[in-house]
Amino acid sequence: MILRLVKSVTDEQIRFLEDRIVSLGLRADVSRGIERTLIGLVGDTSPIDPGLFTELEWVEEVIRVSRPYKRVSREQRPEGLTIRVGSITFGGPEVVIMAGPCSVEDRPSLLSLARRIQKAGAHALRGGAYKPRKSPYSFQGLGREGLLFLAEASRETGLPIISEATGLHHHRTPAGALEEATPVDAVIEMADILQVGMRNMKSYGLLEEIARRTGPLKMPVLLKRGESATLEEFLLAAEYLALHGNPLTLLCVRGIRTFENQQYQRYTSDIAAIPILKRESHLPVIFDPSHATGDHSLISPLSLAAVAAGADGLLIETHESPRQAISDGRQSITPDELTDLIVEVRRLSGVRTGRDQIPAL
Amino acid sequence: MILRLVKSVTDEQIRFLEDRIVSLGLRADVSRGIERTLIGLVGDTSPIDPGLFTELEWVEEVIRVSRPYKRVSREQRPEGLTIRVGSITFGGPEVVIMAGPCSVEDRPSLLSLARRIQKAGAHALRGGAYKPRKSPYSFQGLGREGLLFLAEASRETGLPIISEATGLHHHRTPAGALEEATPVDAVIEMADILQVGMRNMKSYGLLEEIARRTGPLKMPVLLKRGESATLEEFLLAAEYLALHGNPLTLLCVRGIRTFENQQYQRYTSDIAAIPILKRESHLPVIFDPSHATGDHSLISPLSLAAVAAGADGLLIETHESPRQAISDGRQSITPDELTDLIVEVRRLSGVRTGRDQIPAL
Amino acid sequence: MILRLVKSVTDEQIRFLEDRIVSLGLRADVSRGIERTLIGLVGDTSPIDPGLFTELEWVEEVIRVSRPYKRVSREQRPEGLTIRVGSITFGGPEVVIMAGPCSVEDRPSLLSLARRIQKAGAHALRGGAYKPRKSPYSFQGLGREGLLFLAEASRETGLPIISEATGLHHHRTPAGALEEATPVDAVIEMADILQVGMRNMKSYGLLEEIARRTGPLKMPVLLKRGESATLEEFLLAAEYLALHGNPLTLLCVRGIRTFENQQYQRYTSDIAAIPILKRESHLPVIFDPSHATGDHSLISPLSLAAVAAGADGLLIETHESPRQAISDGRQSITPDELTDLIVEVRRLSGVRTGRDQIPAL
Amino acid sequence: MILRLVKSVTDEQIRFLEDRIVSLGLRADVSRGIERTLIGLVGDTSPIDPGLFTELEWVEEVIRVSRPYKRVSREQRPEGLTIRVGSITFGGPEVVIMAGPCSVEDRPSLLSLARRIQKAGAHALRGGAYKPRKSPYSFQGLGREGLLFLAEASRETGLPIISEATGLHHHRTPAGALEEATPVDAVIEMADILQVGMRNMKSYGLLEEIARRTGPLKMPVLLKRGESATLEEFLLAAEYLALHGNPLTLLCVRGIRTFENQQYQRYTSDIAAIPILKRESHLPVIFDPSHATGDHSLISPLSLAAVAAGADGLLIETHESPRQAISDGRQSITPDELTDLIVEVRRLSGVRTGRDQIPAL
């Protein structure tokens, strides 16, 4: 960290800074140029809040040299973190496929779909029991009952479950009752991986609470990138989880919100984020083509692109019968399409031997 | 709402749609053109989830004619809503000024600042006890103790208090203890207006819970627009509050995240959102120039711009002694600058007689 | 300008840098810290291309202290530049209103409109003879004939003309003929102010050519900000004009392209850009509410916001009879609405005595 | 195209519309619902300017059903267009690699680099003789002399040349002379493919002029997507070229400008644009990883991602000796790295047999 001071800085103000720097356990390296005075901070500055300096009128700019995230950084674990859930391994040679419906609708269709997904070769079952919806009039999910169906599907198929925990509130079921257990409680109780949705990536208090509860259970958290989160903010959200007790985070890249949000794609798929996150952090990186594109015809090319760019896994919305069923979204593929995609992913990841070769810092 | 169907649509599929529409208490107005069949939905479609139709393969597009928000719409209350808190009125002829520190630091400086803010002519005291920070290593706020200081400042000055409730988790104090009361509980207990920050605008479960708790108390909620929320999403978040029990929402416009986020401004101040929100909704509209610009030199011109565009109030970060104090941010102004600004705002709102004339729909 | 060097930098590489810096007429101020070596460049670095250093592997970052634009900077002319065109003055106490149709359609309607605009109190007549259109099938403007109509309207009303010069190509008239004179030639011949549209702000060769031709004529150029240009890029485009012979630039702020481009506004009006540009540059700043919002009902509130924020002028699309006429756009106001708006702008700018007080750097 | 009319529409206004529609050679299909009247336009509406209807007060919305681009659409040539330049074929089974320096610096280094690029297996040589630079103080390119060096390198290696034509102005050489031939003239004279840079994608007059001159020569144009152009705008720019005489366009995807423009990537690589463009248009699609990311360590993963997503070619900045040379940018790779990348691309495109399978409309 380097501080660039204003031209008119006084000796007293420089001493004030030196004292503050020393009080933080660092050393101050003052360099007075003709035009500007600079102070370098020597030591481990990653946990230092730059706000301690930007707030001072006589500090013109704080230039960060080292990364503000530390526990999740690649340096902390150059070989990369592998996370095991049952028999599957994130961060290893195989691309992990998680598939399932956007939201759990009813028991029979979920069980049937789960069996087909397993047959297709997927590794885990995704499904939403709590659905964050932009309109209060939209279906908000079955709640705890949806998780019960998922748990049953898991017992039948052996597929571990991933489901989103939307918060610490009390969910109102479609029948109108308020559930006793919060979404966080219920997902911890019944799923194998807890998903934090993109709308909550910056709900830092919620992240802390989730880390405190899931950490002791060694339950991995799949953290989705916020739709307008910078990569630094994304990594710092993972740092919240790590600092407060849960280092087992899966970083999930999806689309970001840009001007390109109308006709052809709902979000912009930030594929470059995949190799950047692999370089900056030791955490496994997952890609979600369904929410990124909002268009089932783009799921296959974008999944392959993500794998080519180094993704460790894919999270794909799948629905059994888009042609007749009510509940199929435009962004879902069928189990047959999933089967084909998994074949292509395997072929691709076999060729891309360099997939786990991380771009050098 | 108009449904545009695919060319190959069958009679059976059209009947399916008609049935669904009727089951929603509406009438279906089928119009078969040569190239396309269209179905108009007749009746009140505002609470209808478009997903009920977009999910069907044979519905090519759902074109919304009426707004998806209803309770917060201008039509529901063409004269506009006024919200009273103590002696101040939001949505009336006077521009309401809420000022105070970014975060509450200590008792004496807060009390001193509160007195000066009151003298400057401000109407309410803002201050953060719970601070959402992108780094887990940054100061996260004094917590409940900060609210106690705010309550004391309120008793001394008579200024009502507005403070952010960051969630339903347990806050860790600077000393490391976990607080018993959640931020939502504590803010409801001690503040006059509960603020929902921009990071939580899409935490819909949290909004529901807040509405259920604050509604019976007639406690207004100041809802900040998410940094990448569309105006429709913003209004639907207010609709969540209204539907779940609290119609007393203040819409707070701040900056949005755009490519212009580097040198000169942190966010882009979306001033046009002010007249659009006034036209679309009956809720009072507040502008926050401090977080929008991140630069104290822009607070005055942007405050005046917001008032000229029709804002009902301003939320301004103020700090007593930016020159020597540790805790002043670059985006705060001094009480003296606040005094000047309030004079200018009054002069301007006196001239702009048309301030509450809403652009016609 | 400060260079931050890589950890592994060699003495030879530092000497290479020192030589390069000296060869640029500057002095190198080397400061070796424990962690990093920094080199400060002493002297006037504004015309220095940072690429000369970023391209070197051992330069980690180039930190700019002074602004990359010099001729158009506020420092060069702290009192601000006033530009005179006939009897009107840009950059003086009065807010200059330029009004007229989006595109010139025919002679009689233009003459009639021009008279009404003059009566409404506007200062100049705008009108497009060459129209950049995103579809090749859209009306591309009357071409030189449109300029002839504008010139006639100018003679009748005394209003100076501003019109866009779209390039150095040959325009195809609605009748299909290729015009001999390029748009740049024709606009220089017949208008008083040459407008560079937002699509050409980064056509640097075109800017150079325009500066070379308009400079000797002392013809002002109104330069529109590109829809995704940063403010630094915008100011550097004005620097192109100044460096190549024309310092008389009017900076025109309009909307920028953000995710908010759908329902309610076409672009995001970057009102904060107005005080920032006034602070950074001595050039007059104009605001175009018509193209920024794309919605006639927002023109009045946004115009007032821009004036409150310090704008020196407004560029407003006006059309005589939106109700019956074919050629009225949704973003035009009527001459009557223009009359009312000019009254409000005058009242506002009378009150806002501090309008020309520039925020301090 | 469907017109949605205002509630208060009169019979006379509907007749006015019917007349206008008929005068365009189409049929009007009026459907009066209870709430809204809709008019469907029957016939080929792709060349129709929606502005003809949006400008009317009683037309609330124009809903486009068919695409506004026609000549470049996939429907026009479902099998896809192949473009041949010498021995290379764009749009065929092989991924075409174009490599070379950002800007041509001097003859010997260009000749040496060209030989190594050819050996690496690249198909064409790229190099900038005219450089659009955001600062007027930056190096603007060697001009025509640079093209002479490129032509010589082409004769030696047999590689065809692609180079950017920045406009119809007169280029000033580093020595300060104004060149007689414009960049467009010079590139047409000496290169094999004319590149239109992202800053000129919306300079429609320039596109027309380029199409008129290159069309008769059957010289392909590589058109870069503007940094904030929607895909529809991008395809319409290609439509300009096709309509005015040159259907041989290569669509070049690079990054778009989003909030993610700071630390880790300069632009956001819009990989999803590749399959979307392949689906919408029959033109070959190229990806430029160098300008998209601005970071040489991301070029390999993003190139592979683009190929996996269906790209027909890559445009890659290459420089011989980044370690010592002055003129290497951070976004260039070495010829050795290029060699490795080409091997990987071949392996990948061998596996991805479905590369030219276009997502169905």
Digit-coded pLDDT (tens) for C240-258: 999 999 999 999 999 999 9
Are residues C1 and C63 in contact, defined by beta-carbon separation less than 8 angstroms? yes
Closest residue to A63, CB basis, from C33, C63, C258: C63
Alpha-carbon gap: A357 to the closest alpha carbon of chain B (Å): 29
Dihedral angle sign, alpha carbons of residues A268, A269, A272, A278: positive
Please report residues of D whose CB lies closer than 8 A to that of C170: 209
Interface membership of B2 toward C (CB under 8 Å): no
Q: What is the mean pLDDT of the segment spanning B32-38?
A: 71
Lowest mean pLDDT among B208-222, C274-288, C310-324, D248-262: C310-324
- Indicate the pLDDT class of residue A125, thresholds 50, 70 and 90: very high
Structure ipTM: 0.89
State the burial class of residue A34 (Cβ atoms within 10 Å of its Cβ: 0-12, 13-18, 19+): exposed
- Indicate the pLDDT class of residue B34, thresholds 50, 70 and 90: low
Lowest mean pLDDT among B280-284, D8-12, D345-349: D8-12
Q: Would you call A258 and C262 a contact, using CB atoms and an 8 Å cutoff? A: no
Q: What is the mean pLDDT of chain C?
A: 90
**pLDDT at residue B78 in the model:** 94
Name, in order, each residue with C-beta under 8 angstroms of B328's C-beta and a sequence gap of 6 or more: A55, A56, A57, B319, B321, B322
Q: How many Cβ atoms from other residues are within 10 Å of residue C32's Cβ?
A: 14
Give CA–CA dist C54/C4, Å, rounded: 10
- Indicate the pLDDT class of residue D294, thresholds 50, 70 and 90: confident
pLDDT-above-70 percentage for chain C:
94
The three-class DSSP label of residue B197 is: coil
**pLDDT at residue A253 in the model:** 98
pLDDT-above-70 percentage for chain A:
94
Give CA–CA dist C360/C355, Å, rounded: 13
Give CA–CA dist C69/C63, Å, rounded: 15
Higher pLDDT, D206 or A361: D206
D308 pLDDT more than 50: yes
**pLDDT at residue D31 in the model:** 75
Higher pLDDT, D167 or D59: D167
At residue A71, what are phi and psi to the nearest 5 degrees? -65, -35
Q: What is the DSSP string of B231-256?
A: HHHHHHHHHHHHHTT---EEEEE-EE
Q: What is the mean pLDDT of the segment spanning C178-189?
A: 98
- Indicate the pLDDT class of residue C39, thresholds 50, 70 and 90: confident
D264 pLDDT more than 90: no
pTM for the full model?
A: 0.91
- Give the number of beta-carbon pairs within 8 Å between C and D: 153
State the chains in contact with C (3 or more Cβ–Cβ pairs under 8 Å). Answer: A, B, D
Interface membership of D54 toward C (CB under 8 Å): yes
Please report residues of B whose CB lies closer than 8 A to that of A51: 138-139, 329
pLDDT-above-70 percentage for chain B:
94
The string of pLDDT tens digits covering residues B76-124 is: 999 999 999 999 999 999 999 999 999 998 999 999 999 999 999 999 9
Q: What is the mean pLDDT of chain B?
A: 90
- Indicate the pLDDT class of residue C37, thresholds 50, 70 and 90: confident
B6 pLDDT more than 90: no
Give CA–CA dist D327/D320, Å, rounded: 10
Q: Tell me which residue of C227, A355, A56 sits closest to D256, measured CA to CA.
A: C227
The string of pLDDT tens digits covering residues B172-191 is: 999 999 999 999 999 999 99
The string of pLDDT tens digits covering residues C314-345 is: 999 999 876 444 444 578 899 999 999 999 99
Interface membership of D341 toward A (CB under 8 Å): no
The string of pLDDT tens digits covering residues B247-289 is: 999 999 999 999 987 678 889 999 999 999 999 999 999 999 9
**pLDDT at residue A239 in the model:** 96
Higher pLDDT, B11 or B210: B210
Tokens of C328: 């009225």
Higher pLDDT, A186 or B354: A186
- Indicate the pLDDT class of residue D359, thresholds 50, 70 and 90: low
Q: What is the mean pLDDT of the segment spanning B158-164?
A: 98
Are residues C43 and C22 in contact, defined by beta-carbon separation less than 8 angstroms? no
Q: Residues 311 to 340 of C: which have CB under 8 A from any D CB? A: 322-323, 326-330
Q: What is the mean pLDDT of the segment spanning A233-252?
A: 97
Please report residues of A whose CB lies closer than 8 A to that of C257: 259
B26 pLDDT more than 60: yes
Are residues C308 and C271 in contact, defined by beta-carbon separation less than 8 angstroms? no
- Indicate the pLDDT class of residue A66, thresholds 50, 70 and 90: confident
Give CA–CA dist B141/B127, Å, rounded: 10
- Indicate the pLDDT class of residue B33, thresholds 50, 70 and 90: low
Task: Report which DSSP code applies to B103.
Answer: B
**pLDDT at residue B4 in the model:** 84
Q: What is the mean pLDDT of the segment spanning A331-345?
A: 94
Are residues B261 and B267 in contact, defined by beta-carbon separation less than 8 angstroms? yes
Please report residues of C whose CB lies closer than 8 A to that of A226: none
Are residues B338 and B316 in contact, defined by beta-carbon separation less than 8 angstroms? yes
Higher pLDDT, D357 or A250: A250
**pLDDT at residue B360 in the model:** 54
At residue A325, what are phi and psi to the nearest 5 degrees? -65, 155
- Indicate the pLDDT class of residue B213, thresholds 50, 70 and 90: very high
**pLDDT at residue A340 in the model:** 96
Q: Tell me which residue of C303, C284, C288 sits closest to C344, measured CA to CA.
A: C303
Partnered with residue B166 across adjacent β-strands are none
The three-class DSSP label of residue D64 is: coil
Higher pLDDT, D171 or B326: D171
Q: Residues 273 to 302 of D: which have CB under 8 A from any A CB? A: 274-276, 279-280, 292-293, 297-298, 300-302
- Indicate the pLDDT class of residue A192, thresholds 50, 70 and 90: very high
**pLDDT at residue C30 in the model:** 82
Please report residues of C whose CB lies closer than 8 A to that of A2: 4, 36, 38
Residue of D nearest to A265 (CA): D272
Are residues D269 and D255 in contact, defined by beta-carbon separation less than 8 angstroms? yes
- Indicate the pLDDT class of residue B326, thresholds 50, 70 and 90: very low
A128 pLDDT more than 80: yes
Closest residue to C259, CB basis, from A63, A65, A258: A258
D109 pLDDT more than 90: yes
A353 pLDDT more than 70: no
Interface membership of D361 toward B (CB under 8 Å): no
State the burial class of residue B245 (Cβ atoms within 10 Å of its Cβ: 0-12, 13-18, 19+): middle
